[in-house]
Amino acid sequence: MIEWSTRLQGVQPSATAAMNELAKTLVQQGHDVINLSFGEPDQDTPLPVQEAAIRAIRGGQTKYTLTRGTYECRVAVAEKFERENSLTYTPHEIIVAPGGKQVLFNAFFATVNPGDEVIIPRPYWVTYPDIIRSLHGQPVFVDCFEEDGFKLTPESLEAAITPRTKWFVFNAPSNPTGAVYSYDEMKALTNVLLKHPHVLIMADDVYEPFVYDGQKFHTIAEVEPRLFDRTLTMNGVSKGYAMTGWRVGYGAGPQKLIDGMAIAQSLINSHTVSISQAATIEALRGDQSLKAAWNDMFKERRDFVVEHLNQMDGISCSMPGGAFYAFPSCAAHIGKTTPGGLYIENDGELVRGVLTEAFVASIAGTEFGAPGHFRISYAASNDELDRACDRMGNFFAKLKP
Ligand code: PLP
């Protein structure tokens, strides 16, 4: 008899995976499903990056690398931090890992003891609490309300900190809400953190390139240099360079933390794929002009999707400042019935109805700790977004009280 360890028992089976299964089944049955559930850009990895990888293969860069990444890759990461975030890290203060997710895992694995508290603003990316629970740590959720732009307030951060707090996780632009903080808003949060020197800070910056309306991206260690020594600045190439499948993320922080993370990584996967590291060097050092073009394109798609969502019956959607997600409220439809006879008991049933009757895949807000909402990724073609909005609009118009 197989019994899962208590570590795994704390992790919820992913409803997202179940929806993806259902979407695949519908496609196999011949339905034209538009998938807006994925958190990845629809573009191809830029050609120069692809070519750097091919050169790496042909040039024999196919052997084990250092656990924390090749020296050259870490130098390229250090250059990126200096150039784009005014942060100075040595290559020894940097680790390259197979995805941003692995950076997070390494950091928590290296530091979280049973019972340690980790503050996670809610709505959240579900991976944070799942990793913490798997380590027998205690996620402490702090609600961020829609009327505050889904942003954390300094008062609620202050109230959540206890002597047992090990980490504060900060993700902006946010998945799933797209919330972006101004410099002053971040300063107000860092002022709270300054008062609590035992708290480590995880700055998850993976959506850095996707900030709209003339706002500027800021990261915690840049906003408050006095927090530099207890902040892990985490980022990656998945989102910004359309490289989700290459599995490269990186983190920079205090050497002792990075050393612990390297031990964790050596146990789990040794290192990031050598070829992906070569590709990352090209992504970070090469021509960056694509980023501005993609940013403009995503902003247009955001405007289109949010405008159309707000025209749909019973749906309201505030304007996300960044990332590539819309996070509309569907609370007005809870308790209704679909034309196919499905009773919408909650947001999970609502996204099921949208998938099985309108053939658009999205993710229920409950997955992010925010019932009554759902998440749509607008990292899809204009044509797909156009058709998806049409289908959803028709679907919501036909719901019966
Ligand atoms: N952080 C957030 C908030 C994310 O949404 C994701 C991916 O969806 C990641 C980190 C990690 O991405 P990756 O492991 O592809 O670098």
Does residue 121's CB lie within 6 angstroms of at least one atom of ligand 1?
no
For residue 130, report the distance from its CA to the centre of ligand 1, in Å: 14
Distance CA 374, CA 328 (A): 6
Query: pLDDT tens across 298-328, in order?
Result: 999 999 999 999 999 999 999 999 999 999 9
CA nearest ligand 1 atom 16, residue = 100
**Taking CA 209 as the corner, what is the angle to CA 206 and CA 213, rounded to the nearest 5 degrees?**
130
Instruction: Give the whole-angstrom CA distance, residue 375 versus residue 325.
Output: 7
Q: What spacing in Å lies between the alpha carbon of 316 and ligand 1's midpoint?
A: 26
Among residues 110, 66, 100, the alpha carbon closest in space to that of 271 is found at: 66
The two beta strands, 249-252 and 94-97, are antiparallel
Q: Does residue 101's CB lie within 6 angstroms of at least one atom of ligand 1?
A: yes
Q: Is 100 in the pocket of ligand 1 (CB under 6 A)?
A: yes
260 burial type by CB count under 10 A (0-12 exposed, 13-18 middle, 19+ buried): middle
Q: Judge if the beta carbon of residue 171 lies within 6 A of ligand 1.
A: yes
Whether 175 lines ligand 1, by a CB cut-off of 6 Å, is yes
pTM: predicted TM-score of the whole model, two decimal places: 0.96
C-alpha atoms less than 13 angstroms from C-alpha of 345 in its C-beta half-sphere: 0
pLDDT at 14 over 80: no
Q: Which atom of ligand 1 is nearest to the CA of 236?
A: 16
pLDDT of residue 12: 75
**Sign, Cα dihedral of 115, 116, 122, 127:** negative
Which residue among 122, 238, 327 has the greatest number of ligand 1 atoms within 8 angstroms of its CB, and so is best to mutate? 238
Mean pLDDT, rounded, for 217-240: 98
Each residue's pLDDT tens digit, 19-78: 888 989 999 999 999 999 988 899 999 999 999 999 999 999 999 999 999 999 999 999
Q: From the CA of 39, give the closest atom in ligand 1.
A: 8
- β-pairing, 231-236 with 200-204? parallel
Q: Does ligand 1 come within 6 angstroms of the Cβ of 41?
A: no
Q: Is 206 in the pocket of ligand 1 (CB under 6 A)?
A: yes
- pLDDT higher than 80, residue 17: no
Give the model confidence (pLDDT) of 176-192 as tens digits.
999 999 999 999 999 99
Element (H, E) at 360: strand 360-361
What would the mean pLDDT of 120-148 be, rounded to a whole number? 96
Question: From ligand 1's centre to the CA of 373, what distance in Å?
Answer: 21
Distance 177 CA to ligand 1 centre (A): 14
